[in-house]
Amino acid sequence: MSDLRPPSGARRPDNARPRSETEHTHEGEPEIFIDPPTPAELGAIERHLACLPMHSGATARWEPVVRALIVTQEGAGPAGNYAASPRWKAQSWHQSLNQVTQLVRRTGSWPSVIVADSVDSPPGLGQALKRIGWHAVQHETVLWVGRASTVAHLDPSMRIEAVQPRSVATHEAVEREIFGLPEEMAEARRQALATALGSGSLRAYVVRLDGEPVAVARLSQGEGVAGIYALGVREPFRGQGYGTLLTTIATRAGMAVGNRLVWLSVEDGNDTARHVYQKLHFQVAFAWARWLASPE
């Protein structure tokens, strides 16, 4: 879907909204206040979130008849076949939901809808789905930041690499280990990652310590916003600051190409990650959930 694919430009657009920052001192420490996301920016973040599977070979299209974004990916189940960004009328949302359900069923997947609180319409859609028997199987919160933290002093034995299309194997293998993905997906994942990197819509990073890869992350370019995802640290190296470092690096990279905001999504209940992101000045944008249709 060409109108949803992120731009690959590396320069801050001339018409970009100026960053608005106010700085003062509080208890001896400087505080910087940045304008929160506008409704348009929240919508851009939500669409970007929904379209992240495009980097793995999914397709996404806006269906004006059902007023929702339809994401499809062969063999990916509800995680890759769903509706998102519903813009439904309060008096006819049942009808829209039925139409979306039929569209998703045609993919051979169980009907799934992603609903973002305070962004999607009608308001309270998630609770309405719950009342008719749908089940929320994933709860996350999107955080945003409008400033990049300082990169900590790097260990001389540490190296941060920007992955190139010709060098995706290491990144894919480490990512697969961290997130427990099946080995049979490896070749398809490598091909999709190389394609996304080559398009300029995605960047990927690997942190090495004494030559050994210890952490990975992806940075996706959206509609004037950048998103960090698939950030993880290998088990023996967790709790040593590599996730914080990589989040900082990716944030700075996202802003360096002209985005006012960088966002990421964290699973509800992951207090350790939330604490790290709060230290890096991330703030809540909106909560979202993936809803599955009730059994028939």
Q: What is the DSSP string of 105-137?
A: HTTTS--EEEEETTTSBSTTHHHHHHHTT-EEE
**Cα–Cα dist 117/115, whole Å:** 6
Averaged pLDDT, 255-261: 95
Question: What CATH number is given to the structural domain containing 171?
Answer: 3.40.630.30
Q: Is residue 236 part of a domain?
A: yes
Q: What is the pLDDT of residues 200-246, one digit of tens each?
A: 999 999 999 999 999 999 999 999 999 999 999 999 999 999 999 99
Q: Is residue 111 part of a domain?
A: yes
Contact at 8 Å (CB) between 245 and 280?
Answer: no
Q: What is the pLDDT of residues 86-97, one digit of tens each?
A: 999 999 999 999
Write out the residue range of the structural domain in which residue 224 sits: 147-259
Residues 134 and 220 both lie in one domain: no
The predicted structure's pLDDT at residue 31: 63
Q: Is residue 6 part of a domain?
A: no
Question: Three-class SS of residue 18?
Answer: coil
The predicted structure's pLDDT at residue 12: 44
**Cα–Cα dist 233/198, whole Å:** 25
Centroid of chain to Cα 155: 29
More confidently predicted of 289 and 152 = 289
Residues 130 and 164 both lie in one domain: no
Dihedral (CA of 211, 213, 217, 218) sign: positive
- 87 DSSP 8-state letter: B
Question: Three-class SS of residue 238?
Answer: coil
The predicted structure's pLDDT at residue 244: 93
Residues 162 and 126 both lie in one domain: no
Residues 81 and 184 both lie in one domain: no
Q: Is residue 30 part of a domain?
A: no
**Res. 10 pLDDT band, cuts 50 70 90:** very low
The predicted structure's pLDDT at residue 6: 35
The predicted structure's pLDDT at residue 270: 94
Q: Is residue 276 part of a domain?
A: no
The predicted structure's pLDDT at residue 27: 41
Residues 152 and 232 both lie in one domain: yes
Contact at 8 Å (CB) between 50 and 44?
Answer: no
**Cα–Cα dist 124/62, whole Å:** 22
Average pLDDT, the chain: 88
Q: Where are the alpha helices (DSSP H) in 124-241?
A: 125-131, 168-179, 186-199
- 225 DSSP 8-state letter: E
Phi first, then psi, for residue 99 (nearest 5°) are -65, -40
Angstrom CA distances, 90 to 37, 40, 42, 66, 231, stand at: 25, 21, 21, 14, 37
Q: Is residue 206 part of a domain?
A: yes
The answer, yes or no, to whether residue 5 has pLDDT greater than 50, is no
Q: Is residue 121 part of a domain?
A: yes
More confidently predicted of 267 and 11 = 267
Angstrom CA distances, 126 to 49, 87, 135, stand at: 17, 13, 9
Question: Three-class SS of residue 77?
Answer: helix
The predicted structure's pLDDT at residue 296: 64
Residues 98 and 174 both lie in one domain: no
- Exposed, middle or buried by CB within 10 Å (0-12, 13-18, 19+), for 235? exposed
Contact at 8 Å (CB) between 175 and 230?
Answer: yes
The answer, yes or no, to whether residue 198 has pLDDT greater than 90, is yes
Q: Where are the alpha helices (DSSP H) in 17-76?
A: 39-51
The answer, yes or no, to whether residue 154 has pLDDT greater than 90, is no
Residues 168 and 227 both lie in one domain: yes
Q: What's at 66, amino acid-wise?
A: V
Q: What's at 22, amino acid-wise?
A: T
Residue 259's closest CA among 32, 41, 49?
41
Number of domains the chain contains: 2
Q: What's at 84, amino acid-wise?
A: A
